[in-house]
Amino acid sequence: MTEYRNLGRTGVQVSSLALGTMMFGARGNTDHGDSIRIIHHALDSGINFVDTADVYSQGESETIVGKALAGGRRDNVVLATKFHGRLGDDPNEFGNSRRWIIREVENSLRRLGTDWIDLYQVHRPEPDTDFDETLGALTDLVRQGKIRYIGTSTFEPSAIVEGQWIAERRGRERVVAEQPPYSLLARGIEREVLPVAQRYGLGVLSWSPLAGGWLTGRYRKGGEQPASSRAERQAARFDITAPENAAKLEATDALAVLAEEAGLTLVQLALAFVLEHPAVTSAIIGPRTFEQLESQLGADKVRLSRDVLDRIDEIVPPGINLSARDGGYVPPALNDASLRRRSV
């Protein structure tokens, strides 16, 4: 039986495996009919939580999801999408401004074929935009009935706390969920993000629980570089010959051995690990094919023993990202040298 968990303190029940749809459309599976069949199979298997974003294949993913939920399926699905990414050449066709949010939510509603979005998420922080402006626009959308709840994705702990402060002091709707990267190879959020989420009662929806494909079983020491569209787009993150990925390859191999000894696939071990953390609500799986979905369904029923969890901690210490590239967001103060130097 599918496991359902509370989405923070909202009272909404969501499946512990959420269906991510980034790989549907030009970025992955270009066959709309096949993508829809995958979505339908996930729903028929008990998943009731679907996550997408306007920027996934430039809106095509949302269109596919809308087609899949037509014909009476929409009402029983908790539907989440995101805004922030650039969708055009105009300088204002992206970001977290009121101007863009009010415009883009209408585009998402149209593509999704729905009158409301259950969870509307700020896809990334934008330090140049006052977070109060963002929350003010989202609060208006909640009160208009176009969105039900507000979420964030890949926010720093201080930004999560700031959002709660703004809501309390300025009468805005509260952020109820955070979507951070979390996997066996990227455990950095265990330091502060997850404890902060627990402190404020936020739901946590972890993205990339299979580390972008590293934890599918295809990456092993002595093996050849696996081919994938994601590796083509982000070569530095997936190149097994790159020095910064050596630790990931070493850990992946050790984790694969541990999974075999525990009678599990590496995929099952990876997903069960993410769902083990008390702060995590759902792990977002992002299959491109029917076979990939099948390999991930049922992982929410796996329970890891204390011995297995202890051995995982020995392979990848708690609170550590083996590669800085897997954090999902680099603060401007680290990217822009002028923000940390008096003399340029």
Which residues are catalytically annotated?
56
Nearest to 150 by CA among 58, 217, 82: 82
**H helix or E strand, kind and range, residue 215:** none
The single-letter DSSP state of residue 76 is G
The single-letter DSSP state of residue 29 is B
Q: At CA 76, angle to CA 50 and CA 179, rounded to 5?
A: 30
Nearest to 227 by CA among 140, 316, 288: 288
Q: Where are the alpha helices (DSSP H) in the chain?
A: 32-44, 60-69, 98-112, 131-144, 157-170, 193-200, 229-233, 235-238, 246-261, 266-276, 290-296, 306-315, 332-335
Asked if 33 and 46 touch (Cβ cutoff 8 Å), the reply is no
Alpha carbon distance 276, 273 (integer Å): 5
- Tokens 């627990």 sit on residue: 198
In this structure, what token pair is assigned to residue 82? Answer: 């995101």
